[in-house]
């Protein structure tokens, strides 16, 4: 007995995990499969007869309209992404495959929820440029920003400062309290350093207990020395009770100024690193 495919197709469409939309020339939803409720939170009957553009994220309207024009001009679009606003107000990232059917007089689109994929992609991009523990800029991105800052300072004939921050006796924290507590302290150091700088400045973890701070468009060296004093002061503040009475380690901070201490990133980093070790040795001899 032959299979009645015509009768089977509607049931197959409603079984699909992806959502099928049929949208007329005026952007009115003529049909939507049952999967729409999982995608947007609306039942099919709530969406039918309404404008599909009503559910789009407003920031994506322009690019989406351009895609619609492309599809209606006979060019299928099988890899388009945009955002929609769900019934509960949350945002869903959607991957579309769509084409225009002249016979039907509508465009047919298949929508897939790629929110989890988008979040994973964003996380990978973040981790490529940030330290996974402290969430600070990592060495690679910091070097790029330092190179850019040097070029900008050279073009504007302005000055920048590079701070190299090293925690004193940090190994003792790991030895006595364990690496998990040491990681918590490093995160606290990161947050305290961030609290001392402007949004236009950059704080990075270079590795271990070493951090760098890039200060751009500085008015004078005195401003930088005041910043060093501020960092030392905030590092001296006690840790909370959740740290079990442990003392915050002090830090040694080396400074390099562009252009007098170097005109390229490597020279500035080397000078700041050397200045930091000079201060660390002086502290060791004095203590």
String of DSSP letters for 162-201: EEEEEETTHHHHHHHH-HHHHHHHHHHHHHHHHHTS-TTS
Nearest Cα to Cα of residue 272 among 116, 166, 151: 166
Do residues 85 and 140 share a domain? no
For residue 8, pLDDT beyond 80: no
* pLDDT for the residue 4: 63
* pLDDT for the residue 283: 75
In the annotation, is 147 catalytic?
Answer: no
**Element holding 244 (H helix, E strand):** none
Last residue of a domain, one of 85, 100, 119: 119
Residue 1 resides in a domain:
no
> What range defines the domain where residue 192 resides?
130-286
Do residues 27 and 102 share a domain? yes
Which CATH number goes with the domain that contains 261? 3.30.70.270
Between CA 240 and CA 108 the distance in angstroms is 59
What is the model's pTM? Answer: 0.78
* pLDDT for the residue 175: 87
- Residue range 77-117, pLDDT digits in tens: 999 999 999 999 999 999 999 999 998 899 999 999 999 99
Residue 125 resides in a domain:
no
Do residues 113 and 200 share a domain? no
Q: Name the pLDDT band for 239 (thresholds 50, 70, 90).
A: confident
Which CATH number goes with the domain that contains 68? 3.30.450.20
Do residues 137 and 115 share a domain? no
Last residue of a domain, one of 84, 119, 154: 119
Last residue of a domain, one of 96, 119, 142: 119
Nearest Cα to Cα of residue 23 among 85, 86, 105: 105
Catalytic residue among 201, 209, 273, 275: 209
Do residues 34 and 162 share a domain? no
Residue 55 resides in a domain:
yes
Do residues 140 and 62 share a domain? no
| Tally of structural domains, the chain | 2
- Residue range 110-131, pLDDT digits in tens: 999 999 999 999 999 999 999 9
Do residues 52 and 78 share a domain? yes
Do residues 108 and 241 share a domain? no
Residue 168 resides in a domain:
yes
Between CA 49 and CA 70 the distance in angstroms is 23
For residue 246, pLDDT beyond 90: no
Between CA 71 and CA 227 the distance in angstroms is 56
Do residues 142 and 81 share a domain? no
* pLDDT for the residue 244: 76
């Amino acid at each position: 007995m032959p299979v009645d495919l015509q009768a089977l197709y509607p049931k197959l469409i409603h079984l699909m995990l992806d959502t099928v939309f049929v949208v007329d020339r005026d952007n009115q939803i003529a049909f939507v499969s049952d999967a729409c409720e999982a995608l947007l939170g609306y039942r099919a009957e709530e969406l039918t007869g309404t404008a599909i553009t009503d559910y789009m994220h407003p920031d994506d309207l322009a690019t989406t309209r351009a895609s619609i024009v492309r599809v209606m001009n006979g060019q299928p679009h099988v890899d388009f992404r945009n955002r929609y606003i769900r019934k509960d107000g949350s945002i869903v990232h959607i991957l579309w495959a769509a084409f225009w059917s002249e016979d039907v007089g509508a465009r047919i689109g298949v929508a897939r929820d790629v929110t989890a994929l988008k979040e994973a992609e964003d996380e990978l991009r973040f981790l490529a440029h940030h330290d996974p523990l402290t969430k600070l800029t990592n060495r690679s991105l910091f070097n790029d920003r330092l190179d850019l800052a040097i070029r900008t300072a050279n073009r504007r004939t302005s000055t920048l400062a590079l701070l190299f921050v090293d925690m004193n006796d940090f190994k003792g924290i790991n030895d006595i309290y364990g690496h998990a507590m040491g990681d918590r302290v490093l995160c606290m150091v990161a947050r305290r350093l961030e609290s001392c700088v402007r949004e236009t400045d950059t704080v990075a973890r270079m590795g271990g207990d070493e951090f760098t701070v890039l200060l751009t468009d500085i008015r004078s060296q005195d401003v930088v020395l005041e910043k060093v004093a501020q960092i030392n002061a905030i590092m001296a503040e006690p840790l909370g009770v959740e740290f079990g009475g442990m003392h915050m380690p002090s830090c040694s901070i080396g400074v390099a100024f562009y252009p007098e201490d170097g005109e390229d990133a490597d020279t500035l980093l080397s000078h700041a690193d050397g200045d930091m070790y000079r201060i660390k040795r002086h502290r060791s001899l004095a203590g």
